[in-house]
Amino acid sequence: MKRTELDAEVFHITLSLSPNIGAKTLSNLRVHFRGDLGAVFTASPRELQRVRGIGAKTAAEIGRMDPARIADQIANWRQRGVAISTIGQARYPAALRDLDDGPPTLFWRGCARPVDPRKTVAIVGTRRPSPEARFIALQLAMRLARAEYAVVSGLALGIDAAAHTGALSAAGATIAVLGSGALKVYPPANRELAERILKSGALVSELHPYAGANAQRLVSRNRIISGLSRAVIVVESDEAGGAMYCARFAREQKRPVYTFDLPASGNQALIRSGALVLNRDDPLGFMLGALDAPVMEAE
């Protein structure tokens, strides 16, 4: 396929697959080249480096990109059930569009309809929960699903898996934001759970559909988990746990953060920093009432 036959979406996706090109840099490229992203691939390295966010390394990377090859891959991904939403499209989640570091492209499997941030809540926590915390996550997700809220989490072992399972048990929708590609589910132990999620929810990733997971990607996905959500609930976490990143992103995005008064060091740190404490016996009575009000300002 000739480059002249490719469309703007292919050029956008090709660029967005680079870890060095985020939404802001893509926007800068679009402005510099007057809306013609195809011109990016014929520009000289010197011209590319005039764009804010593009250094010598990224300019060289762009020179090696092959949009025609990506176009063929896109066709293959779509045949395998991957839907693609770019930041300028109506089907891209509105809740992510205004984030400073929102993903320029999302890859979906399952339900690809736009997510309503007024009816989504994230439940996250440790991969090694106490029995009490696992039960809380399961029951909380079931109650949220029965209240017609979608449950967002990260498909990790432990609390994340309990949250997804609880929502599914109540015939609700749940969204798993992956730290890997949409066609390479991580962790492998949750692949069966991922298949169940596809029936009434979605697997979402900003990464190449066959990308593997790594520590940086697993952390980065937390900004999407919180960004898609009306509020974030950290059920149980150590102070150094991955769920604490989700709480941090939530505060930066001005989403309310909730937790439970459990002994875990992360819970206690969140409480000290102003997180709202949920009653274990009736968590939704307080939280859903609060969600009717405007999102609280981050401190």
pLDDT over 50 at 299, yes or no: no
Residue of 198, 255, 194 whose CA lies nearest to 224? 255
% of the chain with per-residue pLDDT over 70: 93
- Between vectors from CA 248 to CA 292 and to CA 167, what angle results, nearest 5°? 55
Under the banding of pLDDT at 50, 70 and 90, the label for residue 113 is low
Residue 221: which region, alpha, beta or left (left: phi > 0; alpha: psi -120 to 50)?
alpha
Residue 115 is predicted with a pLDDT of 58
Q: Which residues of 159-185 are buried (b: 16+ CB within 10 A; e: fewer)?
A: bbbbbbbbbbebebbbbbbbbbbbbbb
Q: Which CATH class for the 3-79 domain?
A: mainly alpha
Q: What six digits make up the tokens of 272? A: 């000290």
Residue 288 is predicted with a pLDDT of 77
Under the banding of pLDDT at 50, 70 and 90, the label for residue 117 is low
Minimum mean pLDDT among 22-26, 135-139, 181-185: which range? 22-26
Contact in structure between 182 and 209 (CB atoms under 8 Å): yes
pLDDT, mean of residues 214-240: 96
Residue 149 is predicted with a pLDDT of 93
pTM for the whole thing?
0.92
Q: One fold for both 3-79 and 117-291?
A: no
Residues sharing a CB contact under 8 Å with residue 294, sequence separation 6 or more, in sequence order: none
Residue 297 is predicted with a pLDDT of 36
Packing angle between helix 283-291 and helix 131-146, nearest 10 degrees?
A: 50
Query: How far apart are alpha carbons 86 and 210 in whole angstroms?
Result: 18
Query: How far apart are alpha carbons 68 and 74 in whole angstroms?
Result: 10
* Distances in whole angstroms, Cα of residue 38 to Cα of each of 13, 22, 35, 68, 184: 11, 17, 9, 11, 29
Whether the CA torsion 30, 31, 35, 37 is positive or negative: it is: negative
**For strand 276-278 and strand 174-177, is the pairing parallel, antiparallel, or unpaired?**
unpaired
Could you tell me how many residues make up the chain?
299
Q: Which CATH architecture has domain 117-291?
A: 3-Layer(aba) Sandwich (3.40)
Domain ranges within the chain, ordered by starting residue: 3-79, 117-291
pLDDT over 70 at 83, yes or no: yes
- Average model confidence (pLDDT) across the chain: 92
CA 82 centroid distance within chain = 16
Contact in structure between 287 and 281 (CB atoms under 8 Å): no
pLDDT, mean of residues 18-30: 93
